[in-house]
Structure 1
Amino acid sequence: MRAARGTGRHEDGDKAIDAVDQHLIELLRANGRASYAELARQVGLSSPAVHERVGKLEAAGVITGYRAVIEPSSVGLDVTALVGVIESDSVDDTGLEAAMREVSGIEDCWRVAGSEGYVLKVRVADIPALESTVNALNRIRGVARTRTTVVLSTKWEGRHG
């Protein structure tokens, strides 16, 4: 994404995002349930104009969805861990990623640079469930080994702006 000279807009191919769009994105990241009327008040446009802009952001793939953010412990997910996956020398990334996607408890997967090829965020009920998840990962073809770091406390998560 680059700034279009003198326009205050960022361009990414045929997608152009100006300061109002950016403000709408920030507001929706903070509260995906905000009404068009509330968004309109905050950005200084009419509700129909905001509705149109949000629709364009969705159609362009800038806004990809809306979801509920939950407190993990309220649904019995009391253990969070980051699991680094070290791949074997001859690994099929597509097959490995598909297999990891099927393992219960994995919330997020990042392809990373460094000694590990992937870092996974795992959320499970307890330590035995974490052990089960790690064991399942280690059985996947292409995984040489894993390195697990248990999160002691979360200071913030999903930070916006």
Structure 2
Amino acid sequence: MKPSAKLPIRPAKSAFDRIDLLILDALRQNGRITYQALSDRVGLSPRPCLERVKRLEQKGVIRGYTALVDPSAIGHDIIALAGISMRDPSAVARQRLEKVLLEHPAVVELQVVNGEYDYIARIVAPTLAAYEALTEAVLADTGFGIGRIHTTFVLKTLKSFEGYPITTET
């Protein structure tokens, strides 16, 4: 009988106090808030508020700051959700595919999933032809080990991802 594989040990999630959660929620809603306004909002003086933000950044809880841009305003008229199934699930094929997808600017999100697909990718393109060229290039290359790509095109976005919810109750 094959020994069971050990699951990776995940460090315990560090506990955040109410003020940390208020800071995270305020920054999620407005990453451009001034430290003075942030400190007023969370009920802390500016210096300790700044120190908490820096600590959250150093711990990797706050991964960065960004502007939310309308995709169609910058020429991404096609948004596709692509379910990718592997024909060859070897580590070499997966690593090669992941490297190409991670480096491609049209792939704006990539998840490893279980179930019918091995990956789900959010891909943007200026035209349907550009999206088709990308998927055909990947499918045509047998070294990527892809069995099929199932594409769902976004017709209308009702709610965009704008960050993970922060529960401020402790």
TM-score scaled to structure 2, two decimals?
0.82
Is the Cα–Cα contact under 8 Å of residues 103 and 136 in structure 1 kept in the other structure? no
What are the equivalent positions in structure 2 for 1:5-154 lying under 5 Å apart?
13=12, 15-92=14-91, 93-140=94-141, 141-154=144-157
Structure ranking higher in strand proportion: 1
Aligned sequence identity (%): 33
Is the Cα–Cα contact under 8 Å of residues 105 and 123 in structure 1 kept in the other structure? yes
Residue 104 (structure 1) shift? 4.0
CA distance in 1, matches of 2:13, 2:81: 37
Is the Cα–Cα contact under 8 Å of residues 15 and 60 in structure 1 kept in the other structure? no
Residue 22 (structure 1) shift? 1.0
Between Structure 1 and Structure 2, how many residues are aligned? 150
Structure 1 regions of 5+ residues with no counterpart? 1-11
Question: After the TM superposition, which segments of 4 or more aligned residues of structure 1 sit over 3 Å from their partners?
Answer: 12-16
TM-score scaled to structure 1, two decimals?
0.86
Is the Cα–Cα contact under 8 Å of residues 79 and 153 in structure 2 kept in the other structure? yes
CA distance in 1, matches of 2:124, 2:13: 38
CA distance in 1, matches of 2:77, 2:105: 15
Is the Cα–Cα contact under 8 Å of residues 104 and 133 in structure 1 kept in the other structure? no
Higher relative contact order structure (alpha carbons within 8 Å, sequence separation ≥ 6) = 2
AA of the residue aligned to 2:159: W
Is the Cα–Cα contact under 8 Å of residues 105 and 124 in structure 1 kept in the other structure? yes
Q: Indicate the RMSD between aligned Cα atoms, in angstroms.
A: 1.6
Structure 2 regions of 5+ residues with no counterpart? 1-10, 166-170
Is the Cα–Cα contact under 8 Å of residues 31 and 66 in structure 2 kept in the other structure? yes
Residue 91 (structure 1) shift? 2.6
